[in-house]
Amino acid sequence: MKHVVEIFDRETEALLFSVDVPADRLDALRQLMNWNQPGDEFDGYDLSQEQVKELEQWTGRSLMGKNHIVQLVCIE
């Protein structure tokens, strides 16, 4: 299973870039996302500012921008 943060332009909805969530953070990601049900981790999610800040620390990338939509998806 591989989780990716996707960053879209708010106006055009074009994908600007994506960043892999480190595989060794899966347990922490489950807590961050408050996943409780089987299959929760396979859905796509809009992320809160707090969630984005945590993911920025994990990935070492700046993800939030005033014209960005930030989502988490599972691609595998």
CB 19 within 8 A of CB 5: yes
Neighbours of 5 (CB within 10 A): 23
Alpha-carbon gap, residue 65 to 72, rounded angstroms: 16
Task: State both tokens at 17.
Answer: 């870039």
pTM across the whole model: 0.90
Q: Does domain 3-74 have CATH number 3.10.50.20?
A: yes
Q: Name the 3-class secondary structure at 38.
A: coil
Alpha-carbon gap, residue 38 to 53, rounded angstroms: 26
DSSP 26: H
pLDDT at residue 21 above 90?
A: yes
Domain ranges of the chain: 3-74
23-63 pLDDT tens trace: 999 999 999 999 998 899 999 999 999 999 999 999 999 99
